[in-house]
Structure 1
Amino acid sequence: MMAGAGMLLVAGGLPWGVGYVTEQQWQQATAEVNSAQPFLQVTTQAYQRGILGSELSGTVRLLNPDTGESRQVAFQADVTHGVTGSLMDFQPTDGWSPEGADWFPEQEPALTLETRLWGTAVLELAMPAMSMADAGSGESLTTSGGLARVEISDAGSSAELLVVWPALALSGPDRAVRVSDLRVEQTMSHLVGEVWTGSGKVLAELLSVTPDQKPPVTLKGISVQSHSEAVSQGERLDSRVALAVDGLTLSDETYGPQRLTFALNGLDVAAWNDLAESLSAMQAGAAARASVAREGFDRQMAAMQRMNTAVRELAAAGFSIGFPELYLTTPEGAVTGSARISHPELSEDQKAQMLLVMQRLTGEMNLSLPLALAEEYPELRLQLAPLIKQGLLVQEGDRLVLDAQMKDLVVDVNGVEIPLPPVL
């Protein structure tokens, strides 16, 4: 009998303990979100904790950094306590659709947050089929429904994102956009400060844009793959992004493949973090409504000075950036090219004597396109004519070629030297 009573106490006590930890995790997580940036602020108005479950209510305020306008949405959540974690089921207080509208004819969305005692959290949005229209603007949005899922682990230092959306269509008076089989995957690991590493990919079977009274422009087989990693014992950062399109359809003709690769190598992590933090501070300062204008101005100036210092530190540590591959298929032939800009690593003496970042920048760029491409399209020919006249594009056989090198604040383009102004 005593053993049975003990089991009952444990069975009742475990959910209560889990509920207590869940409340603490929620308060800590919202505090960290609010302190990290000013654009999304979560306020908890009430948290009523019970033994097997809790009730939560609050507001989310979204700030538009461009206009300074904000929008507030009230929410409520039912929290179920388990043995090792809790499940929070969120809903807007005023419902998922505005009054008088029925955006979700089949079923309502489900937004849940599953937490574990050891710090893992999974935020998931299951979106059913949706149809919404704005009579005033004439715009409408229709989706097949989809799934968005974020899993956070290692006390917030690791995250995985998954988005699966089979179909989405947006139409308006001047254009229509259609996306099919969208899939987004991203893994992230915190390195230091605001610097993260990881890999990701964005895939879409089709993206179609139809301007008003014009034939559609369709991209098929879209792929964006990215990878960033820490090297040199975590002191440097390498990053690479590759964009590929299997086919581009214009006026019932398809051309492909299309490829563009961007690469960044040898970035100093500490300086990059300083630059990221200073940019965040400047953005937050511009969005915030400072009570004293002078204090706001001083904060902006301090952030700008920190940004300038970070840029100099980045350059002094050495780096290279550019696109190693550009390959575009056209009916007249392929457009190819590459570009790279780099700065050498400086010694302490050289760093102390550095007056300008641009002074030691070096780089090269090449571009080759079919001559027939310029001859076929008058608008493009009009854009290229000044470059050809100045010798920046020269004809080699049936192609137009640009070959450029940069050194000592001078760019040499096909033998034409162009001095650069010392602006940085």
Structure 2
Amino acid sequence: MKAKWIIAGAGVLVVAGAGAMPWVVGYVTEQQWQQVTRELNQSQQFVQMQTEDYRRGFFSAELDGAVTVLNPETGETHPVEYRAKVTHGITGSLIDFKPVDGWAPEGAGWFQEEPRLTLESRLWGNAVLELEAPAMAINDPEGGESLRTSSGVIRVELSDAGSKAEALVVWPQLSFTGPDMNVRVNDFRAEQSMSHLNGDVWTGTMESSIASVEMTSSAAPPVTLEELRASSSTEAKDDGQRLDSRLLIEAGKVRLEDEAYGPHKLSFVLEDLDVASWGNLTTSIAELQNTALASDAGSREAFERQMAAMGQVSMAMRDLAVEGFSVGFPEISLNTPEGAVTGSVMISHPELADDQKGEMLMVMQQLTGSMNLSMPAVLADEYPGVRLQLAPLIKQGLLVPEGDRLVMAAKLNDMVISVNGQEIPLPPLF
């Protein structure tokens, strides 16, 4: 009998605990929301979130607020007021956001049905932000422009208290029609995985692809880019002290009238970066941007802050250089009907010993690099636009004929660039 009462009592406690969980979840959700918005506002100036009222109940809550977006070019701000309904569950909450003035101007009819923006959070700190967008049609009769998109989805998942992120964007179709040009994008997809390393530095991978981009114009033949791909990776090494980052952009084919040629490839690398110095550089650049966007940007005090921020950027660049790095485009490959255009550009700075770091006056002093370019000479012969761009280089001997090709071979050392045997001293810029 005693065992039965113990089991019954335990059952009552479990039921009572489960019944109380929505209140606990609601309380934690409110605290998480306040913390996230505070950290977002402190980390940058471009998107600011304000929560004007948070009304929490037992099984649900409601909140009112505004998102203010800053245009970095003009300094103008655009506020968007929103309302959200929060549903509390056993282990997490679901927040459903809606703009107060709707997703489109009244009577515009942009969407076949309303978009849905939700945030799903868990007690242990995981969160999923998802935008489900229906098909959209925006027309501008005065300008003769229109934008059409299929339904699409944007999903961002955060875990490990925000130190890891997974993002997915899928948009099957997008088209823009204007008086001078029409553009159609088919099957856009992007996936990104990120992990926080240190400060403002993140590691991870990104993969994106577009099946085709079709461009038609009344002033030029139609052009189609097919099998577009971009991939990047950022990896830490040496126990998180160094960083390598790579970006690869590829196009399978370019179709122009009745011809198709490809593939094309462009790669970019940042190698052996010191993580601490790189983090300081990105932070100082962000601070410089913030000073330029400050409300008193034209005042003397703002000018002094900008000069101080520029000094911090210069110092961060110097600190990055003394630790050593390599940067450039190791592979450039463009296939044309007349032949391939190939090249590479790389610049490096050696890591300095401790007794040398304090003596370095300029970053340029110990920069070394190389540049190589090779292209069919017929490109300059047959195409006036290309010939106009290349003529000064050919005249100065920077591009020289080698068989049926034009080539450039350049080296950088001791602040002197040697191009095809010609030496060009560089001015001391930084």
Q: What fraction of aligned residue pairs are identical, expressed as a percent?
A: 57
Tell me the equivalent position of 2:102.
Answer: 95
Between the aligned partners of 1:291 and 1:219, the Cα distance in structure 2 is 43
Tell me the equivalent position of 2:203.
Answer: 197
Tell me the equivalent position of 2:293.
Answer: 287
Tell me the equivalent position of 2:3.
Answer: none
Runs (5+) with no aligned partner, structure 2: 1-7
CA shift for structure 1 position 66:
0.8
Map 1:342-421 → 2, pairs under 5 A: 342-421=348-427
Between the aligned partners of 1:4 and 1:419, the Cα distance in structure 2 is 84
Map 1:7-46 → 2, pairs under 5 A: 7-46=14-53
TM-score (norm 2): 0.95
Equivalent position SS for 2:357: helix
Q: Mark the CA change 1:194 to 1:212 in structure 2 (over 3 Å): closer, same or farther.
A: farther
- The answer to whether 1:164 aligns with 2:157 is no
Between the aligned partners of 2:257 and 2:91, the Cα distance in structure 1 is 58
Q: Mark the CA change 1:415 to 1:45 in structure 2 (over 3 Å): closer, same or farther.
A: same
Instruction: Return the letter of the residue paired with 2:230.
Output: V
Between the aligned partners of 2:409 and 2:43, the Cα distance in structure 1 is 45
Query: Which whole-Å deviations, capped at 9, do the CAs of 1:54-81 have from their partners, x for residues lacking one?
Result: 1111111011011011111111111110
Tell me the equivalent position of 2:343.
Answer: 337
CA contact (8 A) 1:405 1:412 kept: yes
Equivalent position SS for 2:273: strand
Q: What is the Cα-based RMSD across aligned positions, in Å?
A: 1.5
CA shift for structure 1 position 191:
1.0
- The answer to whether 1:222 aligns with 2:228 is yes
Tell me the equivalent position of 1:182.
Answer: 188
Q: Mark the CA change 1:204 to 1:352 in structure 2 (over 3 Å): closer, same or farther.
A: same
- The answer to whether 1:326 aligns with 2:332 is yes
CA contact (8 A) 2:297 2:303 kept: no
Instruction: Return the letter of the residue paired with 2:115.
Output: P
CA shift for structure 1 position 353:
1.5
Between the aligned partners of 1:7 and 1:234, the Cα distance in structure 2 is 45
Tell me the equivalent position of 1:266.
Answer: 272
Between the aligned partners of 1:58 and 1:136, the Cα distance in structure 2 is 34
CA contact (8 A) 1:164 1:182 kept: yes
Deviating 4+ runs (over 4 angstroms): 1-8
CA shift for structure 1 position 389:
1.6
Between the aligned partners of 1:385 and 1:303, the Cα distance in structure 2 is 41
Between the aligned partners of 2:301 and 2:120, the Cα distance in structure 1 is 41
Map 1:222-241 → 2, pairs under 5 A: 222-241=228-247
Runs (5+) with no aligned partner, structure 1: none
Between the aligned partners of 1:252 and 1:16, the Cα distance in structure 2 is 66
CA shift for structure 1 position 4:
6.9
Between the aligned partners of 2:49 and 2:389, the Cα distance in structure 1 is 50
Between the aligned partners of 1:86 and 1:80, the Cα distance in structure 2 is 5
Determine which of 30, 46, 56 is the counterpart of 2:63: 56
Determine which of 147, 156, 163 is the counterpart of 2:153: 147
CA contact (8 A) 1:38 1:288 kept: no
CA contact (8 A) 1:157 1:190 kept: yes
TM-score (norm 1): 0.97
Q: Mark the CA change 1:291 to 1:206 in structure 2 (over 3 Å): closer, same or farther.
A: closer
Between the aligned partners of 2:305 and 2:60, the Cα distance in structure 1 is 44
Instruction: Return the letter of the residue paired with 1:137.
Output: G
- The answer to whether 1:113 aligns with 2:119 is yes
CA shift for structure 1 position 8:
4.8
Between the aligned partners of 2:147 and 2:396, the Cα distance in structure 1 is 48
CA shift for structure 1 position 175:
1.6
Between the aligned partners of 1:277 and 1:212, the Cα distance in structure 2 is 46
CA contact (8 A) 2:95 2:120 kept: yes
Equivalent position SS for 1:295: helix
Between the aligned partners of 1:34 and 1:226, the Cα distance in structure 2 is 28
CA contact (8 A) 1:197 1:228 kept: yes
Query: Which whole-Å deviations, capped at 9, do the CAs of 1:145-198 have from their partners, x for residues lacking one?
Result: 101000011111110110000000112222221110000011111111111111
CA shift for structure 1 position 101:
1.0
Equivalent position SS for 1:101: coil
Between the aligned partners of 1:322 and 1:2, the Cα distance in structure 2 is 69
CA shift for structure 1 position 215:
1.9
Between the aligned partners of 2:176 and 2:158, the Cα distance in structure 1 is 31
- The answer to whether 1:70 aligns with 2:113 is no
Instruction: Return the letter of the residue paired with 1:11.
Output: A
CA shift for structure 1 position 291:
8.9
Instruction: Return the letter of the residue paired with 2:28.
Output: V
Aligned residues between the structures: 423
CA contact (8 A) 2:291 2:297 kept: no
